[in-house]
Amino acid sequence: MASLSSLMSEEIQVVNEAVTSEPLADKPLGVFAEIPNMCTYRQNENAVLFISGQNAGECEASASGIQLDGPVSLSSHSSYTQSQISLDDLGSNEDLHHLSLSNYGPKSMEELNRLIMDSPDDDDSDSHSSLNLGVESINCLKQRIRSGEDKICEMEETISNLRSTTSDMQKELRDFEKCKQDLDTSKKNCKNLEEKVDKLQRMMEELRQTKEREFTSAKRDWENQFEMLRKQKQAADKDKEMMVMRYAQSEQMVIVVRNEKENLDKRMREMFKEREGLNNRIKILSADKVKLGNNLDAKCSEACQLVKEIEQLKEEINSRDIKIKWGQNKLKSEIENHKETQGKFEKALRQIQETREEAEQIRRDCQNMLRNYKESEQNQQKADQEREEEAQALIKAHADLEAVRKRQEETLDENNSLTIKVHQMERDRLEAEQQIGNLRETISQLRQEISEWKDKASSIDELHMKLQKEKEKVVQLQGEMEQIRQENNDLQTDMVVCRQKEAELLEFTAKLTEKNVCLQSEFRCLEAKSNHLEQENKAHVRHMEELEREVDSLRRDVEAVKAEKEKVEKEKEEMHQEGEKLQQKLMEAKDEIRVMKKRHSSSLKDLSRELQGTQQRLKAIERGRLPHPCLQNGYMESDRIPRASRDKNGPVSGKDTTSSGEARKSHSGDRNVQIALPAKAQPSEGDPNGIEGGENQLPSTQLLIERIVKLQQALARRKEKIEILEEHRRHLIRDLRKKSQIIQHYVEMMSKRGIMASLYRSRQADGTMTLDLSLEINHKLQTVLEDTLLKNMTLKENLNTLGNEIARLTQEKQEQLKKGIST
């Protein structure tokens, strides 16, 4: 027990030493108002802190670092103990002098010591628990003392900052006081300057008045002198202009005479050039006439040869027409043989189409099944993905809620601690703001005073500037006076120069009169020469008219030759076209003969095979080897063999027909239609009545075939006409292109020089170009343009007629085919 009491006393001493050893800070008692479960009040210079807790071990106050003017008592109230701690502050050094714990109640600290000393051994458990409670309360006090020390350090830092701000403000105040002293001195200086400025202004006004008087008097004198000089100068200028006008008139006369002389020379040169050009044209026309005669002879010989060739071709065509008729008769016999095969072929085609339709329906059903299956799988996948996404979103939301709750708890704790600090700092801030406001007021007052003094200083500067401007004006006026003097001197020198020029001009006019006399004599000589040249020019013009008449007669001869040439060319083109037509007919006839030969050869082979088969069967029947049903089977086989051979030979004939021209394709196509039409109307072999009906229908089919043949011939003729017209159109286009190229070449040549250059450049480029000649050229160009327009119009009409005929023929052909199919 003694050891326990000694331990308690030692702990109490340690607490007292810790409290007394640390200095008190400059904090008021309101600091402890921020500690929870604490209340304070001040009464008669004694501060009492009441600390409430559930027990002594939960005490939440620290008594260290408290600065007070009197004794302090710290009391704790709980259900177990009720203790009071009194603190006495004895000096101005802010140290804690005495800490006493006075116990009130049955469970205070002193009573605990007594109970420990006086209690018997059987009460050891109760005393031990009370000692533990005391130790815990002491530990709590230590912790609170440390927290109080930390807060005191923070407050000391804030106080040091405030002290630094106050020191800065004091420095600023000292600076302002210095500024005030400077301003006082500047005020005194300004007053002195103002007095000086007033004196200077008075002096300036007196000087200005005297200078203005002197300037006005001098200005009047100079203006009078200047006007006198101006009048003298104007008179001299008028004399000068009169002399210049006379000289210009004389020069103008000389220039006119020179121009007339140059124009006469140019006309003479141009007349010589035109004469040479006409001679060259006459030579060129004579050479063209000789060439045209030679060309006519050559073309006449060619025309004779073409006539002979045409006669030969006509003979060949007649011989081939006979062969074509023989081939047509053979075709009719072969068409009858092909009727049976076409019926069976159509039946086989119908069965093939039915099987194809069934296969397509099966494919469609399978495809629909596959599509439905794929769509169902895609829907299931989408639903699974949506479920997974919803589950992930829920998990994330739960995690976010937990994190938010934790953050909320942390923020609440931080908020409570920060509110306590904020209240404390706001009070300090209010005091500092009051001090700063007072300092700002003083600063604003000082600034206003400074601005006033600055305004006064600026007004003084303006006065200095005005002084300088007035001085500059005086200097400028002096400079103007000097300039006027210099101008007067210049005018006097100009007068001297003008008088010298007048003397020179008088001499010059004397020389001009002499020159005018000389020029008049030369002009008379030139007039005589010009009259002589005009007479020569008239003689040349007459000669040119004669030459033009000869050229016109030669042109007429050339036009006549050209007309004859065009006629011959037209006849030649017609002969050439007829020859091409005959060649085309020959080619078609040759191709048809080849086709017929191949078909006849194939039919002969089939017939020979059938004859051999029938001969063998007849021999077998005679011998008695084969019965009657076998004969029927053999007959069917013999019918099948030629059909197969015909099917084999069919594409060969098609290839041959495709190798011929477009006209032959149309013939072969129409013949295939002829073959197809009677095949439908043909009856079966077994019915005798059907055979009789087929014989009755044969004339109608023959009529249709003949009509189709006639239509094909008419179509071929029209196609030939179309081809001829197209060739004629191409020929005309080529001629137009050639002529346009020639014209462009000549235009490029003539645009640089010659008579046509003046037309293309819209200004006279050649001196020989006259109005009559330009009118003739324009008239000829207009006629050429009209001819080309007419040709273009005719070409357009021909093309339109060709298009209409082609459209009409195609419609007629389609209608005829429809009628033939319907019949």
pLDDT digits (tens, 9 = 90+) for 263-292: 877 877 787 787 787 777 777 877 777 777
Task: Indicate if the alpha-carbon torsion angle 360, 362, 365, 366 is positive or negative.
Answer: negative
- Return the DSSP state at 57: G
Q: Phi/psi of residue 82, each to 5°? A: -145, 100
Please check the confidence at residue 720 and state whether its pLDDT lies above 80: yes
CB 72 within 8 A of CB 97: no
- The fraction of the chain above a pLDDT of 90, given in percent, is 0
Greatest mean pLDDT among 373-377, 556-560, 584-588, 812-816 lies in 812-816
Please check the confidence at residue 22 and state whether its pLDDT lies above 60: no
Q: Which domain holds residue 801?
A: 711-823
CB 72 within 8 A of CB 49: yes
pLDDT tens readout for residues 70-82: 444 343 333 333 3
Please check the confidence at residue 325 and state whether its pLDDT lies above 70: yes
Please check the confidence at residue 108 and state whether its pLDDT lies above 70: no
Sequence-distant (≥ 6) Cβ neighbours of residue 613 within 8 angstroms = 634, 637, 638, 641
pLDDT at residue 762 in the model: 56
pLDDT at residue 768 in the model: 64
Sequence-distant (≥ 6) Cβ neighbours of residue 661 within 8 angstroms = 584, 587, 588
pLDDT at residue 106 in the model: 41
Higher pLDDT, 678 or 3: 3
- pLDDT band at residue 423 using 50, 70 and 90 as cut-offs: confident
Helix (H) and strand (E) counts in the chain: 8, 5
pLDDT at residue 447 in the model: 75
pLDDT tens readout for residues 176-222: 777 767 777 766 777 777 777 777 777 777 777 777 787 777 778 77
d(CA 656, CA 532): 90
d(CA 349, CA 356): 11
Cα angle 329-330-332, degrees, rounded to a multiple of 5: 70
- pLDDT band at residue 760 using 50, 70 and 90 as cut-offs: low
Q: How far lies 23's CA from each of 65, 66, 89, 636, 740, in Å?
A: 6, 9, 11, 143, 124
**HEC secondary structure over 214-275:** HHHHHHHHHHHHHHHHHHHHHHHHHHHHHHHHHHHHHHHHHHHHHHHHHHHHHHHHHHHHHH
* Residue finishing a domain among 68, 100, 119: 119
Please check the confidence at residue 646 and state whether its pLDDT lies above 50: no
pLDDT at residue 555 in the model: 75
d(CA 662, CA 669): 11
CB 435 within 8 A of CB 166: yes
d(CA 268, CA 533): 8
Name the token pair of 83: 């203790």
pTM comes to 0.18
Q: How far lies 574's CA from each of 167, 311, 570, 664, 725, in Å?
A: 129, 15, 6, 24, 12
CB 481 within 8 A of CB 218: yes
Please check the confidence at residue 616 and state whether its pLDDT lies above 80: yes
d(CA 108, CA 101): 9
d(CA 259, CA 619): 127
d(CA 802, CA 799): 5
pLDDT at residue 736 in the model: 82
* Residue finishing a domain among 119, 150, 176: 119
pLDDT at residue 558 in the model: 74
pLDDT at residue 624 in the model: 67
648 CB-contact burial (10 Å; exposed 0-12 / middle 13-18 / buried 19+): exposed
pLDDT at residue 42 in the model: 40
**What region, left, alpha or beta, does residue 757 occupy, with left being phi > 0 and alpha being psi -120 to 50 degrees?**
alpha
Q: Is residue 103 part of a domain?
A: yes
CB count, 10 Å around CB of 745? 10
Please check the confidence at residue 791 and state whether its pLDDT lies above 80: yes
Name the token pair of 360: 């397509």
Q: Is residue 780 part of a domain?
A: yes
d(CA 126, CA 117): 13
Please check the confidence at residue 680 and state whether its pLDDT lies above 50: no
d(CA 433, CA 169): 13
pLDDT at residue 422 in the model: 73
Q: Is residue 734 part of a domain?
A: yes
- pLDDT band at residue 465 using 50, 70 and 90 as cut-offs: confident
- Return the DSSP state at 43: E
pLDDT tens readout for residues 488-541: 777 777 777 777 877 777 777 767 777 767 777 777 777 777 777 777 777 777
CB 87 within 8 A of CB 70: no
Helix (H) or strand (E) run with residue 73 in it? strand 72-77
CB 324 within 8 A of CB 592: yes
Q: What is the mean pLDDT of residues 658-668?
A: 38
Q: Is residue 377 part of a domain?
A: no
Q: What is the mean pLDDT of residues 76-92?
A: 37
**HEC secondary structure over 166-217:** HHHHHHHHHHHHHHHHHHHHHHHHHHHHHHHHHHHHHHHHHHHHHHHHHHHH
Q: Phi/psi of residue 173, each to 5°? A: -60, -40
Please check the confidence at residue 377 and state whether its pLDDT lies above 60: yes
E strand residue ranges, 98-188: 98-103
Q: What is the mean pLDDT of residues 642-654?
A: 38
Please check the confidence at residue 32 and state whether its pLDDT lies above 80: no
Q: Phi/psi of residue 70, each to 5°? A: -140, -170
Higher pLDDT, 392 or 71: 392
Higher pLDDT, 768 or 795: 795
Q: Is residue 721 part of a domain?
A: yes
Q: Phi/psi of residue 75, each to 5°? A: -125, 145
Q: How many domains does the chain have?
A: 2
d(CA 338, CA 345): 11
CB count, 10 Å around CB of 663? 19
Q: What is the mean pLDDT of residues 717-729?
A: 82
* Residue finishing a domain among 89, 119, 149: 119
Measured in residues, the chain has a length of: 823
Name the token pair of 693: 């009906």
Helix (H, G, I), strand (E, B) or coil at 80: coil
Q: What is the mean pLDDT of residues 546-565?
A: 75
Q: Is residue 575 part of a domain?
A: no
pLDDT at residue 12 in the model: 53
pLDDT tens readout for residues 246-265: 767 767 777 777 787 788 77
Q: Is residue 786 part of a domain?
A: yes
Sequence-distant (≥ 6) Cβ neighbours of residue 75 within 8 angstroms = 48, 49, 50, 51, 82, 83, 84, 85
- Least confident among 55-59, 228-232, 269-273, 696-700: 55-59
- pLDDT band at residue 628 using 50, 70 and 90 as cut-offs: very low
- pLDDT band at residue 756 using 50, 70 and 90 as cut-offs: low
CB 310 within 8 A of CB 578: yes
d(CA 490, CA 487): 5
Q: If you average pLDDT over every residue of the chain, what do you get?
A: 66
Sequence-distant (≥ 6) Cβ neighbours of residue 146 within 8 angstroms = 62
pLDDT tens readout for residues 526-536: 777 777 777 77
- Least confident among 230-234, 366-370, 403-407, 657-661: 657-661
Q: How far lies 407's CA from each of 412, 418, 422, 594, in Å?
A: 9, 16, 22, 106
- Least confident among 144-153, 622-631, 767-776: 622-631
Helix (H) or strand (E) run with residue 49 in it? strand 46-52
CB 693 within 8 A of CB 683: yes
Name the token pair of 771: 């109005």
Q: Is residue 656 part of a domain?
A: no
Sequence-distant (≥ 6) Cβ neighbours of residue 24 within 8 angstroms = 65, 66, 67, 89, 94, 95, 96
CB 755 within 8 A of CB 773: yes
- pLDDT band at residue 759 using 50, 70 and 90 as cut-offs: low
Residue corresponding to tokens 């006076």: 481
d(CA 105, CA 82): 6
